[in-house]
Amino acid sequence: MAEVTVNIRDDGPLLVQGPCVLKDQAGNTVRESDNMVALCRCGLSNTKPMCDGSHTDNFDGTLNPPD
Ligand code: FES
């Protein structure tokens, strides 16, 4: 089974790298990908839940891991 990695981008989206299926609350497939999906983390995207680049220069979202 292929490994899936979620990368939190500073001031940007969550990058889901690896094969994945994104489903809505009803279980309907929203997106399928064999390699990468970018999920909006800023709330500004016009194509939620996907990132559309609207975060650029508009989102301060650096996460620091807890100590
Ligand atoms: S994280 Fe890219 S548009 Fe929200």
| One-letter amino acid for residue 58 of the chain | N
The pLDDT score that the predictor gives to residue 62 is 86
Binding-site residues, ligand 1, Cβ < 6 A: 12-13, 40-42, 44-45, 51-55
The pLDDT score that the predictor gives to residue 2 is 80
Whether the per-residue pLDDT at 3 is higher than 80: the answer is yes
pTM of the model: 0.87
Task: Please write the tens of the pLDDT for every residue from 21-64.
Answer: 999 999 999 999 999 999 999 999 999 999 999 999 999 988 77
Ligand 1 centre to CA of 9 (Å) is 10
How open is the CA angle 37-35-13, to the nearest 5 degrees?
Answer: 25
For the chain, give every domain's residue range. 1-53
The pLDDT score that the predictor gives to residue 24 is 94
The pLDDT score that the predictor gives to residue 63 is 77
CB-based contacts of 14: which residues, under 8 Å, 6+ apart?
6, 7, 8, 38, 39, 41
Ligand 1 centre to CA of 2 (Å) is 26
The pLDDT score that the predictor gives to residue 54 is 97
